[in-house]
């Protein structure tokens, strides 16, 4: 299937004369390529020369568009300050003609687009200008200005012009004024023959159907695409659908005449089947940047070329059967390319904002898929490891062996009905990736234990001994004996007597002695208990036969161990006051940090936060990592409690971002969005929200209510009531207390109002 149509050579003496002149100009320029020195600015490859088919030619201004002559011998490049004809061969580029030479500076010559005519107009160019003018250029003129005609019918800039594929006398334009106009260049008056209004915003692109040439597609600023039939100019479009979220910047017909590709600012390329009444694209390609130009690659019906509007300097060639990664990428521009056109299936011409024209061949492009790693791995929060490995190396971008040689009977019927090969082949292709993948569970992280610890750990820190005992019990029940032992050690280190400041100790030595004695006695009991637990675990491992044979010996050992434990307790009581608690805790923190147990680090700190000091940066890292894990496991309540208990301001501010309290109507239960004046009426049922329980009037400002019985009212009225009462004013019998009262206001309260609320609540 060929996407480039050959121009039919009609017997025309004028046309043959013009063709001869053009051929002579190009042949003379080609003959001088090998001997003349380039007059333009120096280029990357020596003023327009190249090697291995790659040629880069530098001009004196940014370029916006490119057009290849019908005979494929020359190319026209246009820009704000440039309009030239270039002769190109695989090794060099030569400037043949400067159409702006000798012309006065005018906004008519600031070109947005350029197109080369065909057949009878193959020696003519059409350019679109920013001021709404369309200029026809005759490159065969030898005297005077080469601008043959200037058409001024558009009121705003012309974005695109297009010649009918087999009739170069028909010219179509798309303008920023929202209209499309068609001209017959044989008309001496040169008034527009047809006017098409899409009833939309600006028209960004128009393209004729290469098969049904009376049809054309138009892209609009609103993101829509319209298909028109020139045989019914007074009628509206034949079809219209929303294609992109944002402006649709470019369209191009598939060589079959059935499919249309579109590109937009939403960074997508979409392929549409215009023969069916479907509003969903057949294919969607997501690009890295907004798409400014697209064109199907001739000879490859599944491949399409795209240029980016901004940020991306590459030209990509996509295979629509594998839309997630480009098949080829040309990277020869220093700024985003503005236009590209295929000379044939292997040679691509392009121009860009970097003032450069580039001739490039497909073998010079790189394949992005070859630089990607096909092996990968990833973890999830449950401890599952997913991985992929290569099966075997493949040379082709799409495995053609997966396409059946014979379609099924149903598919054969569709083929007989004239369905395009593009859609038929894709209906029964089954792509098999070249990787093998698997998922394995590695029990390196017990997410169930993590969740239970988070929900049952005591992080209050008000009573260190009580918190340690509770946390030790939780760890012991979950089988984390080392963690349980850690909490017991912390409980021994931070006894109530040890945690008091030295300045607060009493002067009476007798009282100090009693306090120290009771403290040491309690510590000795704790250590004896730990030793007894170790003894019981060791005695369970002894066989029953040894117990019967050595019962007397065992009793003696037990007595000796009891005596030794008492001596150990006494010795420890003498040295206990010399221990450095901060150093022991730091060692514990270092151990659990190396283990990656941020949950234990944060919980230890919260329990001991009044008695230890930790580096602020280290502490912030612990809290950030722990809160992130809690959010991943959707433990929102625990995460909020941890955030509120954190001493770091940046962490606490997380609870203040995007905090919203929604009010629901008590009649229809729809959310009440409210107004800038307050949320006091429902938009759906048009009823007022609950009135004040005391004055029975609508509350249009701050509203105070009890979370226990849901009754409330004006702040002042509720304060006056609870100054002398403790029951709800509605008579429901509920005892409304300060913790159950909530204040809600709209609009946001000022500092004075907040202080007023605080004072009012303090009196309750």
Asked if 682 and 646 sit in the same domain, the reply is no
Q: Enumerate the H helices of 576-703 as residue ranges.
A: 581-595, 598-608, 616-632, 636-645, 649-652
Domain count, the chain: 4
147 within a domain of the structure (yes/no): yes
The predicted pLDDT at position 35 comes to 38
Distances (CA, A) of 39 to 28, 94, 431: 16, 9, 53
The predicted pLDDT at position 562 comes to 43
Last residue of a domain, one of 627, 659, 691: 659
754 within a domain of the structure (yes/no): yes
Parent domain of 722 = 671-762
Find, among 5, 16, 1, the residue nearest to 166 by Cα. Answer: 5
Asked if 593 and 738 sit in the same domain, the reply is no
Asked if 108 and 130 sit in the same domain, the reply is yes
Asked if 628 and 728 sit in the same domain, the reply is no
- With b for 16 or more beta-carbon neighbours within 10 A and e for fewer, the 93-132 pattern comes to bbbbbebbeeeeeeebbbbbbbbbbbbbbbbbbbbbbbeb
Q: What are phi and psi of 491, to 5 degrees?
A: -65, -35
Find, among 192, 185, 190, 195, the residue nearest to 117 by Cα. Answer: 185
Q: What are phi and psi of 343, to 5 degrees?
A: -75, -45
In three-state secondary structure terms, 94 is: strand
Asked if 428 and 463 sit in the same domain, the reply is no
Residue 265 burial (C-beta neighbours within 10 Å; 0-12, 13-18, 19+)? buried
Distances (CA, A) of 318 to 2, 284, 302: 18, 11, 8
Asked if 743 and 689 sit in the same domain, the reply is yes
Global pTM value: 0.56
Distances (CA, A) of 307 to 255, 289, 290, 397, 621: 19, 9, 8, 21, 44
The total number of residues written for the chain in this structure: 764
Asked if 568 and 607 sit in the same domain, the reply is yes
204 within a domain of the structure (yes/no): no
Q: Which residue has the tokens 């003129």?
A: 141
Strands 283-286 and 356-361: unpaired
According to DSSP, residue 727 is labeled: B
* CB-facing half-sphere around the CA of 157: CA atoms within 13 A: 14
Find, among 189, 196, 198, the residue nearest to 231 by Cα. Answer: 196
Asked if 71 and 116 sit in the same domain, the reply is yes
Find, among 670, 656, 660, the residue nearest to 744 by Cα. Answer: 660
Asked if 568 and 646 sit in the same domain, the reply is yes
Q: Which regions in the chain score pLDDT beneath 70? A: 1-51, 102-105, 144, 392-435, 496-580, 658-662, 673-680, 738-764
Last residue of a domain, one of 122, 157, 192: 157
623 within a domain of the structure (yes/no): yes
CA end-to-end span of the chain: 86
Residue 213 burial (C-beta neighbours within 10 Å; 0-12, 13-18, 19+)? middle
- Here the CATH number for the domain that contains residue 712 is 3.30.40
CA distance 351 to 66: 7
CA distance 245 to 268: 9
Q: What are phi and psi of 420, to 5 degrees?
A: -65, 150
The predicted pLDDT at position 27 comes to 53
The predicted pLDDT at position 704 comes to 85
CA distance 718 to 706: 10
Asked if 493 and 595 sit in the same domain, the reply is yes
What CA dihedral angle connects 403, 409, 415 and 416, to 10 degrees?
150
Asked if 473 and 580 sit in the same domain, the reply is yes
Strands 158-164 and 167-175: antiparallel
727 within a domain of the structure (yes/no): yes
51 within a domain of the structure (yes/no): no
Last residue of a domain, one of 157, 191, 219: 157
- Report the greatest alpha carbon distance in the chain: 131
206 within a domain of the structure (yes/no): no
How large is the C-alpha radius of gyration of the chain?
A: 41
396 within a domain of the structure (yes/no): yes
Asked if 609 and 472 sit in the same domain, the reply is yes
- Chain Cα centroid distance, residue 718: 49
The predicted pLDDT at position 447 comes to 83
Task: State both tokens at 567.
Answer: 């001596």
In this predicted model, what pLDDT tens digit does every residue of 533-575 receive, in sequence order? Answer: 444 444 444 344 444 444 444 444 344 444 444 444 444 444 4
CA distance 471 to 600: 10
């Amino acid at each position: 299937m060929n996407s480039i149509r050959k121009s039919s050579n009609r017997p025309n003496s004028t046309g043959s004369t013009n063709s001869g002149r053009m051929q002579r100009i190009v042949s003379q320029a080609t003959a001088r390529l090998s001997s003349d020195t380039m007059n333009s600015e120096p280029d990357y490859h020596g003023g327009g020369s190249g090697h291995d088919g790659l040629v880069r030619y530098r001009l004196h201004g940014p370029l916006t568009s490119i057009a290849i002559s019908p005979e494929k011998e020359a190319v026209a490049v246009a820009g704000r300050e440039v309009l030239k004809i270039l002769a190109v061969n695989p090794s060099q580029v030569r400037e043949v003609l400067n159409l702006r030479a000798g012309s006065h500076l005018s906004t008519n010559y600031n070109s947005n687009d350029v197109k080369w005519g065909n057949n009878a107009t193959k020696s003519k160019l059409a350019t679109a200008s920013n001021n709404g003018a369309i200029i026809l250029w005759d490159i065969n003129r030898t005297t005077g200005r080469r601008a043959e005609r200037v058409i001024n019918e558009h009121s705003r800039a012309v974005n695109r012009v297009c010649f009918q594929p087999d009739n170069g006398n028909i010219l179509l334009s798309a303008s920023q004024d929202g209209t499309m106009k068609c001209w017959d260049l044989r008309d001496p008056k040169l008034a527009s023959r047809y006017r098409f209004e899409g009833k939309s915003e600006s028209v960004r692109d128009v393209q004729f159907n290469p098969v049904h040439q009376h049809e054309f597609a138009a892209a609009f600023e609103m993101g829509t695409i319209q298909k028109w039939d020139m045989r019914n100019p007074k009628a509206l479009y034949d079809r219209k659908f929303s294609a992109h979220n944002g402006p649709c910047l470019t369209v191009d017909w598939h060589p079959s005449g059935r499919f249309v590709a579109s590109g937009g600012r939403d960074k997508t390329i979409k392929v549409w089947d215009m023969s069916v009444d479907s509003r969903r694209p057949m294919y969607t390609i997501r690009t890295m940047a907004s798409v400014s130009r697209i064109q199907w690659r001739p000879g490859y019906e599944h491949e399409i070329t795209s240029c980016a509007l901004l940020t991306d300097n590459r030209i990509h060639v996509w295979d629509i059967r594998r839309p997630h990664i480009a098949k080829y990428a040309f990277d020869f521009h220093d700024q985003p390319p503005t236009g590209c056109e295929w000379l044939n299936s292997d040679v691509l011409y392009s121009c860009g904002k970097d003032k450069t024209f580039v001739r490039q061949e497909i073998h010079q492009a790189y394949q992005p898929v070859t630089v990607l790693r096909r092996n990968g791995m990833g973890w999830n929060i449950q401890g599952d490891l997913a991985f992929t490995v290569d099966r075997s190396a493949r040379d082709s971008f799409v495995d053609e062996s997966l396409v059946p040689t014979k379609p099924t009977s149903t598919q054969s019927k569709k083929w007989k009905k004239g369905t395009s090969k593009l859609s038929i082949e894709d209906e029964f292709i089954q792509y098999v990736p070249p990787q093998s993948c698997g998922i394995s569970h590695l029990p390196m992280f017990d997410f169930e234990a993590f969740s239970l610890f988070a929900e049952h750990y005591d992080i209050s820190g008000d009573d260190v001994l009580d918190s340690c005992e509770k946390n030790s019990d939780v760890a012991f029940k979950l089988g984390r004996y080392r963690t349980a032992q850690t909490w017991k050690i912390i409980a021994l280190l931070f006894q109530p007597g040890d945690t008091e400041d030295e300045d607060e100790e009493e002067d009476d030595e007798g009282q100090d002695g009693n306090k120290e004695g009771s403290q040491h006695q309690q510590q000795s009991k704790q250590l004896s208990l730990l030793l007894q637990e170790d003894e019981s675990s060791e005695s369970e491992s002894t066989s029953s036969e040894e117990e019967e044979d050595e019962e007397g010996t065992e009793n003696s050992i037990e007595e000796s161990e009891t005596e030794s434990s008492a001596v150990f307790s006494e010795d420890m009581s003498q040295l206990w006051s010399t221990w450095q608690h901060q150093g022991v805790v730091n060692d514990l923190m270092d151990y659990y940090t190396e283990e990656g147990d941020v949950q234990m680090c944060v919980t230890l700190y919260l329990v001991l936060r009044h008695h230890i000091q930790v580096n602020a940066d280290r502490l912030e890292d612990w809290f950030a990592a722990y809160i992130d894990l809690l959010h991943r496991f959707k433990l929102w309540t625990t995460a909020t409690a941890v955030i509120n208990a954190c001493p770091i301001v940046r962490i606490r501010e997380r609870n203040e971002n995007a905090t919203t309290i929604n009010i629901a109507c008590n009649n229809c239960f729809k959310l009440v969005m409210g107004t800038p004046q307050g949320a006091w009426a429902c938009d759906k049922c048009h009823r007022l929200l609950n009135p004040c329980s005391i004055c029975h009037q609508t509350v249009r400002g701050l509203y105070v209510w009890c979370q226990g019985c849901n009754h409330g009212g004006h702040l002042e009225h509720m304060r006056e009531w609870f100054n002398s009462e403790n029951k709800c004013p509605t008579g429901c019998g509920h005892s409304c207390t300060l913790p159950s009262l909530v204040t809600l206001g709209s609009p946001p309260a000022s500092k004075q109002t907040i202080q007023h609320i605080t004072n009012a609540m303090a009196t309750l």
